[in-house]
Amino acid sequence: MSGSARRLAGIFLCFSQLLMGCHEHVFLQVPPPQAPFAERAKAYQDLRPISYQVSNNSQQVDFLELGNGTRVYHPDDLLSAVARDSATARAIDRSDQLRRTAPWFGFSALACMIAGGTLVAIATVGRDRPNSSLLASGMAVGAVGGLAFGIASATVYRRSVDQARSAFDSYDGDLQRKLSVCVDADCDANSVHERTPSP
């Protein structure tokens, strides 16, 4: 990729990040499984999920709110609080990969529209009669290519949001496993007890 293309891609990626909002990362301090139970129970109280906010007609997960009031805007901030092979970690990896891929489809859509517009201009500007072949090609590249890549970008981004939501949904159980604590499904979060090792 040429230097100018890399710069354009970088600008597009930065712009897409601005559209999603700028928030600082947070670090979640998690004691090891062998730490005293009281320390692990307190960590669970602080780091357990309370709720998450979804906006833009369910197209964007804004943040996950934790027990200590911390708001997690970046799903990958949860990785320190769950096992690397957990469902949460896998969903975060998929979400991050899809989120990074989506802007490239958007960049391709923009490139198609620019290329299509250029062909249309060449086919019409300075001519008594438009070059029908070039005109049709330009319209096809700009409209069809731009639309196809645009739809692909939106679809991939929605899948990224779905994976982020899945990570937030599975986080509570994976946090409990990371801390070796357990909360009964029919009890409130104050009823934290030691997780019984699997036989």
Chain segment 68-121, per-residue pLDDT in tens: 999 998 899 999 999 999 999 999 999 888 888 877 877 888 888 888 888 888
For residue range 10-64, list pLDDT tens digits in order. 544 444 454 445 678 899 999 988 899 999 999 999 999 988 776 655 566 778 8
Element (H, E) at 24: none
Check: CB of residue 91 under 8 Å from CB of residue 170. Answer: yes
Residue of 103, 143, 135 whose CA lies nearest to 119: 135
Q: What is the pLDDT of residue 196?
A: 65
Tell whether 5 is covered by a domain.
no
**Tokens, residue 109:** 């859509």
Q: How far is CA 138 from the centre of its chain?
A: 34
- Cα–Cα distances in Å, from 9 out to 103, 108, 159, 198? 9, 10, 22, 49
d(CA 102, CA 121): 29
d(CA 143, CA 164): 31
Q: Which backbone phi and psi does 23 adopt, to 5 degrees?
A: -135, 150
Tell whether 139 is covered by a domain.
yes
Residue written as token pair 């049709």? 136
**Tokens, residue 36:** 């005293």
Which residue type, as a one-letter code, is found at position 116?
A: G
For residue 110, give its domain range. Answer: 15-182
Mapped onto helix, strand or coil, the DSSP state of residue 21 is: coil
pLDDT over threshold 60, residue 140? yes
pLDDT over threshold 60, residue 136? yes
**Tokens, residue 157:** 């981004």
Residue written as token pair 């709720």? 51
Tell whether 171 is covered by a domain.
yes
Check: CB of residue 95 under 8 Å from CB of residue 167. Answer: yes
Tell whether 67 is covered by a domain.
yes
d(CA 10, CA 23): 19
Max Cα–Cα distance, the chain, nearest Å: 85
Predicted structure pTM score:
0.69
The count of structural domains within the chain is 1
Q: What is the pLDDT of residue 30?
A: 92
CB count in 10 Å sphere of residue 147: 13
Tell whether 1 is covered by a domain.
no
Tell whether 7 is covered by a domain.
no
Tell whether 91 is covered by a domain.
yes
Tell whether 92 is covered by a domain.
yes
d(CA 117, CA 9): 20
